[in-house]
Amino acid sequence: MTNWYYHDPAQGRVGPIDADALRGHFREGRIQRDTLLWREGLREWQPLERLSAELGLDGDLLSSTPRPPAPPPLPPGANDAPAYSAPAYSAGPGSNGQVSNGAGPSTGANPADAAAAHFNRRPAAPPPRKGLSGCVIVLIVLAVLAIPVIGILAAIALPAYQDYTHRAKVAQAMVAASSLKVSVAEYVLSNDSCPANNSEGFQPSEDYADTYIARIRIGQFTENGSCAMQIELRGIGAAIDGKHLVQSYDPASGSWTCSSDIEKRSVLPIECRD
């Protein structure tokens, strides 16, 4: 449904109203063929008679004659003015057809000219009101308020999501290296010593590379001399790439412990945070 607006000299912009109501206003005489109309899509206000085809008023315009504008209101005090008396023509001798109104020869202006001059002095009708609609203003306010809220949510959510993805990749690297634990434990139990990458059954450190693993060194890297696997990380993030996970084996208990030189402990599995 198209919303229409029309300009009323007394009320300014009136609307929105639909086309049926607009046709009713015309047929009731509330608006005229020269009344300014506007709808969305028009570049400027147009008189009704230019839009009659769109409104279905062509037949009404052809069957009706333009109505004269209403006479202007009388100025204050006009009712107190003396009544106008028609001039009387003297038919006596020597009158020569002069006009007499009982007060000498008439020199006043034509009353019709005076009325026309008063009508022309009326103030011009105000232009149609322009401005943003209420819906547009509400949308602008909501957009202004939403920007800082979005910024705050992003500042909270993005670091948390980044920690989550880093932690998942570190855990995946530990899973990929876990198959070596069995080989290291069996070697220690069989040889009563810690293996190295060049020991029988093991490979150079780079050969253990994986998606998030650059290399795995096998030997004694801890301060207490425990046998351990040192996993060097890659492909995770600038703050983590090149850092290490160290998984140490205790032959007495047959258990493994985990440590790391990664400063941000939240990206580590729980068992590696101590």
pLDDT of residue 92: 44
- What are the tens digits of pLDDT across the range 211-221? 999 999 999 87
Domains, in order of start, for the chain: 1-70+110-129 (3.30.1490.40), 167-272 (3.30.700.10)
Alpha-carbon span 120 to 111, nearest angstrom: 14
Question: Which residues have a Cβ under 8 Å from the Cβ of 94 and sit 6 or more positions away?
Answer: none
pLDDT < 50: residue spans in the chain? 78, 80-107, 112, 115, 119
| Per-chain mean pLDDT for the chain | 79
pLDDT of residue 135: 84
Token pair 């703050």 is found at: 239
- What are the tens digits of pLDDT across the range 10-26? 888 888 888 888 888 88
Which residues face 116 on adjacent strands?
Answer: none
